[in-house]
Structure 1
Amino acid sequence: MEFVERIEIENNIIARHVIGKKPKNEKEGITYIYGSNFQANIGDDIRMYTDLQAGTKKPLTQLVEEGLVPVPEGKKLNEAGTDFEDMSEAEKVAAGLMQLKADEKIEGEHIVKKTKKEQYDAGLISKEEYNAYIDRLRGAAYQQEADPLGMQVMRGDIDKDVWLAKIAEIKQRYPKVE
């Protein structure tokens, strides 16, 4: 009795790997491939292989291009084309997987909050809210930078113009909207 090795393929899927007698009648709808020492895996699509017997699969890039392997949501092929990696936030927005909120923007590859000025310019905050924010920034800068100079003016250590110039510089650094 002669034994043969074969794989049986149904609808491009490896259904069975058999070592046994050659069937007298091959079943309709099943493709039989005879050989020896098949390394391909049961359940795989035969279109994934360049060599069924050796079990050599096509590169992942080719499998994706041919539509045999889907790219998982939120992933992309790595630069080498050998594996999937996470998309950046910017790429997810561009692909329609994420939506920016009104107060967000893309900066580089990341989603960041818009500045208060950008929020004001976009009509997301009022002039009063923006100017109150500027007042807080100015207040912190006055406390850190100008107040020590004011004390030096009171002691007579520096000229009043130095202190006033610092106040003007802070106002210029943090301008209000009119």
Structure 2
Amino acid sequence: MTANTPEQLPPHIQLIQMGAAATSRTVCVAAKLGLADQLASGPKSASELAGPMQVHAPSLHRLMRTLASLGILTEQSAQRFALTTLGEALKTGAPGSARSSLLVFGSAWQRGAWDYMEYSVQTGKPGFDKAHGMPFFEYLAHHPEQGIHPAKTAADLLRDLPRDVIVSCSVIDEEVRNRFVAFF
């Protein structure tokens, strides 16, 4: 079965997909389930994956078809799906992996902060602080289990940058930059 790739969709559909929370949740759920890791060895059907992944096969099939419509998977014969180049970035530890980032962005504590984006634009104050009653790093100090994926995200994003580039990066807040430098 051939699905439209994102660039083939009409502009209004592309914008609706961008604005739909369901789209980001779909990608985040795929990351959380480790779907790309399951498909790393080659195409598989939802029924083949459901047992090892401990999920409902028909629901997984719908998730996989949605991911195909987003260009992350491609549907092949016999309802088997394979990773696209974009989907490869969902694999754990892959060069340029986005998995840790998606696990952070898809987490309840991060989504709650994004609910205050309008507040942040209106006031110039961090939405995260409003959502959680404290700044990001203070929150992580109180909830160290939540810091695992942000640390992996930072490592993934900064892995190939020389230390002096990280230190000199003017777009990173000084406190954040100092904490990242200390992390490495």
Structure 2 length-normalised TM: 0.20
Structure with max Cα Rg: 1
The answer to which structure has the higher strand fraction is: 1
